[in-house]
Amino acid sequence: MTATDKTKFCRLIHQPSAISPMSNKETQVSSEELPIVLVHRLPSFKLPSKPSFNDHLLSDFHLLDPHDSPEPYDSFMSRHAPSIRALIIVGPTPITAEFLKLLPCLELIVGTSAGLDHIDLPACWSRGITVTDSGLAFSEDVADCAVGLLIDVLRRISAADRFVRGRMWPVKKEYPLGFKLGGKQVGIVGLGSIGSEVAKRLSAFRCSIAYTSRKKKQSVPFPFYANVCDLAANSDVLILCCALTEETYHIITKDVMVALGKTGVIINVGRGSLIDEKELVQCLVRGEIDGAGLDVFENEPNVPKELFGLDNVVLSPHCAVMTPQSFEALLQLISANLKAFFSNKPLLSVVSNE
């Protein structure tokens, strides 16, 4: 079957027709007549109940969730496969080339995260499948969290809270000094939507910004370093905001940390595997860098136990995106992307194949 044949086959089997999803509420279309969308999730991942997927999507789409059905997964998938042109991924559920073979008619994958390292993007693109991500929905919240972690590490806020709750203030009297944020040289690794929001915020604290990314950005006033080691050597702080790809896996090596130096701080709101975590732990324990604020880890939810005793690290359970407001924005984006897809209109947050 050629690609064109396949498209015809898929369209014949399932024709969502020219329903305008916007009008479903008024015309009380039954769910069977709505455009079908597969919910792709690991059995352990649940759809969030608040803000509710259902409120946003059920009136406009017929959601098929194999893990909600008593039917065995394989049977469910082969029965519905011909009608599935679009799917939503819940959280970081993997999409492999093997999985894609189950869905010969798939045209759209709606990702729900900023990082898409759980999706085999080349396999999608070779099949002509379009992938969307969370667009700008999470950018501000992740940037806020990055700045919060940085202030926390420099000014030792979580450690101060531990000091007070541990009844140490009346005993020790003095709390150790922190370090000033103003005037710090901040190197941003990955100046996409999150990195740009971080830069905007830290400029208001009188930090100097520089960055590295795949390419120099023409419209950006900040100094560009082609090499992360050079960026580290010229920075007091590194903030990791880039995607995890083959190129960025362990981009923060021991050499980069040594270049950052003994007073340097690393903030990671990207993915755990951007850093060689074993080396990071050693650098923190030995004082080869000064501190770290980590929202992500290589082997989540497991965190290296050596970090639990350190006051110069702040540990956060991969929750930089986690506000009701960002989920609300994400659900609106998912809905808008699906509506655009089923109306043959331009999608809003397509991942670029470049």
Note whether 164 binds a second copy by CB under 8 A: yes
Shortest Cβ distance from residue 258 to a second copy (Å)? Answer: 24
Shortest Cβ distance from residue 166 to a second copy (Å)? Answer: 9
Backbone angles phi, psi at 324, to 5 degrees: -55, -35
Query: Token pair for residue 90?
Result: 């819940």
Secondary element (H or E) of residue 212: strand 208-212
Which whole-number Å values give the CA distances from 56 to 22, 81, 251, in the listed order? 12, 24, 38
Note whether 236 binds a second copy by CB under 8 A: no
Shortest Cβ distance from residue 257 to a second copy (Å)? Answer: 21
Residues 187, 235 contacting (CB under 8 angstroms): yes
Q: Which residue numbers are catalytic?
A: 271, 300, 318
Q: Give 95 or 147: the residue with its C-beta nearer to a second copy.
A: 147
| Binding residue for a second copy, selected from 303, 333, 334, 351, defined by CB under 8 A | 303
Note whether 145 binds a second copy by CB under 8 A: yes
Q: Give 111 or 304: the residue with its C-beta nearer to a second copy.
A: 304
Alpha helices per DSSP H over 95-165: 97-100, 121-126, 139-155, 157-165
**Is 212 exposed, middle or buried, given 0-12, 13-18 or 19+ CB atoms closer than 10 A?**
buried
DSSP letter at 51 equals T
Query: Token pair for residue 109?
Result: 């994958």
Shortest Cβ distance from residue 189 to a second copy (Å)? Answer: 21
Give the Cα separation of 326 and 195 in Å (integer).
Answer: 17
Stretch that binds a second copy, among 14-22, 243-251, 253-261, 317-325 (CB under 8 A): 317-325
Secondary element (H or E) of residue 251: none
Note whether 286 binds a second copy by CB under 8 A: no
Shortest Cβ distance from residue 300 to a second copy (Å)? Answer: 8
Q: Give 32 or 308: the residue with its C-beta nearer to a second copy.
A: 308
Shortest Cβ distance from residue 69 to a second copy (Å)? Answer: 24
Note whether 183 binds a second copy by CB under 8 A: yes
Note whether 157 binds a second copy by CB under 8 A: yes
Residues 296, 268 contacting (CB under 8 angstroms): yes
Among 223, 225, 181, CA closest to 203: 181
Note whether 147 binds a second copy by CB under 8 A: yes
Residues 111, 132 contacting (CB under 8 angstroms): yes
Backbone angles phi, psi at 119, to 5 degrees: -110, 135
| Binding residue for a second copy, selected from 173, 218, 344, 346, defined by CB under 8 A | 173
Give the Cα separation of 140 and 196 in Å (integer).
Answer: 9
Residues 197-216 close enough to bind a second copy by CB under 8 A: 200-201, 203-206
Residues 261, 283 contacting (CB under 8 angstroms): no
Note whether 113 binds a second copy by CB under 8 A: no
Note whether 140 binds a second copy by CB under 8 A: yes
Note whether 62 binds a second copy by CB under 8 A: no
Note whether 74 binds a second copy by CB under 8 A: no
Give the Cα separation of 262 and 236 in Å (integer).
Answer: 9
Q: Give 66 or 148: the residue with its C-beta nearer to a second copy.
A: 148
**Binding site residues, a second copy, CB under 8 A:** 140-141, 144-145, 147-149, 151-152, 155, 157-158, 160-165, 169-170, 173, 175, 177-183, 200-201, 203-206, 300-303, 308, 314-317, 319, 322-327
